[in-house]
Chain A
Amino acid sequence: MFRRSEYPQGSVLLVVGTKRGLFLISSVDRQSWNIQGPMLKGHRTFYGILDQRKGARLFAADNGDFFGPFLRYSDDFGANWHEPEHGLQFPEQSGEKLAAIWTIEPGRQAEPDVVYAGVDPASLWISTDGGLNWELNAGLATHPTRARWEPGAGGLCLHSIVPDYANASRIWVAISAVGCLRSDDAGKTWTFANKNVRADFLPVKYPEFGQCVHRLIQHPRRPEILYQQNHCGIYKSTNSGDDWTDIQHNLPSEFGFPIALDPHHPETLYVVVEDAEARQNVGEQFTVYRSDNAGEQWERLTNGLPAGTGVGLGVLRHALCTDIKDPCGVYVGTTTGQLFASSDQGDGWRLIAEYLPSIYSLTAAVLM
């Protein structure tokens, strides 16, 4: 059913994780889109991503409903799915129970067999054979403060993994609601990277840890620059996370989940801030916000996005992404199953799917 010939070279493939399965939505011209799915039908699929470093391996975080979370992979665009030989299961003696798999992150280009996964309860898992076997990162699992880590509303989730492309020993992770941590020794030890990030819900507003970071990304050309969307603001670091600067500026809310950037113009950022109480667009206009100057000033992108009485759309932390074409495509999926796409860096938007299940995640690949 899902043949490689259906996904020609150069086409954009959106991998869409939803509450009821995984969808592949593809286009050769970013105008007309073809929807395939659902695969893993009925399963809460938190995340999906295509790894093209060696072929085209599709990974999915299949959290099912009743019968346990499983990381799965497919080498034929979802026609057949496989489980790892040794998957994501905690050792019995650890006392931990895998609640959900939140993210799967292919490693550096120079390490094509390395794949990372982040889960709830917050842990980092690493495969060095393309996803066939997985190991728990002991350094994070035995962090001296771990007993004091508190979950966010969605769980104690490790949702962002950023292997530094410029430093093979450095990696960042982001956990709700613990904050950002950085390792400079390939994961053996971890230190917090939360200085100047607020936690308004705690008695100490700038604690060492306990912040609710929602998403963490790295600048693609300046490795020392990171961005995060947090429960309490949007932040930029220019020193690898040693400290952070608030870049909310003229955004109408500090609260949101996702953040993305234009890979060809990395000073161009995208967020979808929300009414923090309602968890939907501020006012009655669904809006994506863009900054062309790394967060100094934000503009509202609304051309083609819905507005009116009753329009209240929410976007989760993994449901905003860009592609690597220039001008970049921007894609945003809502918790009510609408998928909007822009082929011009967000200037104009079209609804390309409107009745999907609740969208958990979006990743975009340009097929090689």
Chain B
Amino acid sequence: MDQAAPIPTVPVSVPPALRARVGGRSKVTAAGRTIRELIDALDQQFPGLRFNLCYETGELRPYVNIFLGHENIRYLQGLDTPLSPGTTVAILPSVAGG
């Protein structure tokens, strides 16, 4: 009988604007099969972080980018992008503003 694959734990880079939320750290770790699950896990650790990243309706805020390695998840499967062991995730704000 196959055993269920363990849920990967991945490192997540946090931009300066959100480090106060995560105790001042530039990197945190959390577990999830997808980016969506990862965000949920991060929100459990750091309440309020989901609202920093996503609207109440669940979609990613327009100026928030999440990278899986070097790939922006917007060009993968979005919040349903799967995670695997050894991957890295980075949260980055868009180069925008004025």
Is A bound to B?
yes
Q: Is B27 an interface residue (CB 8 A)?
A: no
Interface size of B by CB at 8 A reads 17
Quote the shortest CB–CB distance from A197 to chain B (angstroms): 33
Quote the shortest CB–CB distance from B96 to chain A (angstroms): 8
B residues 69-89 near A (Cβ < 8 Å) are none
A residues 40-75 near B (Cβ < 8 Å) are 64-68, 70
B52 and A96 contacting across the interface, CB-CB below 8 Å: no
B56 and A94 contacting across the interface, CB-CB below 8 Å: yes
Assembly CA distance A11 to B93 (angstroms) = 40
B61 and A68 contacting across the interface, CB-CB below 8 Å: yes
Q: Is A277 an interface residue (CB 8 A)?
A: no
Give the chain A neighbours of B24 by CB distance below 8 A. none
* Shortest Cβ distance from B54 into A: residue: A68
Q: Is B64 an interface residue (CB 8 A)?
A: yes
A95 and B57 contacting across the interface, CB-CB below 8 Å: yes
Quote the shortest CB–CB distance from A320 to chain B (angstroms): 25
> Which of B17, B58, B97 meets A67, CB within 8 Å?
B17
Give the chain A neighbours of B61 by CB distance below 8 A. 66-68
Q: Is A97 an interface residue (CB 8 A)?
A: yes
Assembly CA distance A89 to B51 (angstroms) = 8
Q: Is A29 an interface residue (CB 8 A)?
A: no
Q: A83-B48, A89-B51 are in contact. Are A67 and B57 (CB under 8 A)?
A: no
B residues 35-79 near A (Cβ < 8 Å) are 48, 51-53, 55-58, 61, 63-64
Interface size of A by CB at 8 A reads 17
A66 and B64 contacting across the interface, CB-CB below 8 Å: yes
Q: Is B3 an interface residue (CB 8 A)?
A: no
Q: A65-B63, A67-B93 are in contact. Are A90 and B56 (CB under 8 A)?
A: yes
A92 and B52 contacting across the interface, CB-CB below 8 Å: no
* Shortest Cβ distance from A98 into B: residue: B56
Assembly CA distance A97 to B62 (angstroms) = 12
B56 and A66 contacting across the interface, CB-CB below 8 Å: no
Quote the shortest CB–CB distance from A336 to chain B (angstroms): 15
B55 and A97 contacting across the interface, CB-CB below 8 Å: yes
Assembly CA distance A142 to B55 (angstroms) = 20
Assembly CA distance A83 to B51 (angstroms) = 12
B52 and A68 contacting across the interface, CB-CB below 8 Å: yes
Quote the shortest CB–CB distance from A155 to chain B (angstroms): 15
Give the chain A neighbours of B52 by CB distance below 8 A. 67-68
> Which of B56, B58, B63 meets A89, CB within 8 Å?
B56
* Shortest Cβ distance from A83 into B: residue: B48
A residues 83-127 near B (Cβ < 8 Å) are 83, 87, 89-92, 94-98
Assembly CA distance A97 to B60 (angstroms) = 12
Q: Is B22 an interface residue (CB 8 A)?
A: no
Task: With a 10 A CB-CB cut-off, give which of A66, A91, A96 has the most chain B CB atoms.
Answer: A66
Quote the shortest CB–CB distance from B59 to chain A (angstroms): 9
Q: Is B18 an interface residue (CB 8 A)?
A: yes
Quote the shortest CB–CB distance from B42 to chain A (angstroms): 13
18 contacts between A and B (CB under 8 A): A64-B17, A65-B93, A66-B63, A66-B64, A66-B97, A67-B52, A67-B64, A68-B51, A70-B51, A87-B48, A87-B51, A89-B56, A92-B56, A92-B57, A92-B58, A96-B56, A97-B55, A97-B56
A-B contact sample (18 more), CB < 8 A, given A66-B61, A87-B48, A92-B56: A65-B63, A65-B97, A66-B63, A66-B64, A66-B94, A67-B52, A67-B53, A67-B61, A67-B93, A68-B51, A68-B52, A68-B61, A89-B56, A92-B58, A94-B56, A97-B56, A97-B57, A98-B55
Seen from chain B, the residues whose Cβ lies within 8 Å of a Cβ on chain A are: 17-18, 48, 51-53, 55-58, 61, 63-64, 93-94, 96-97
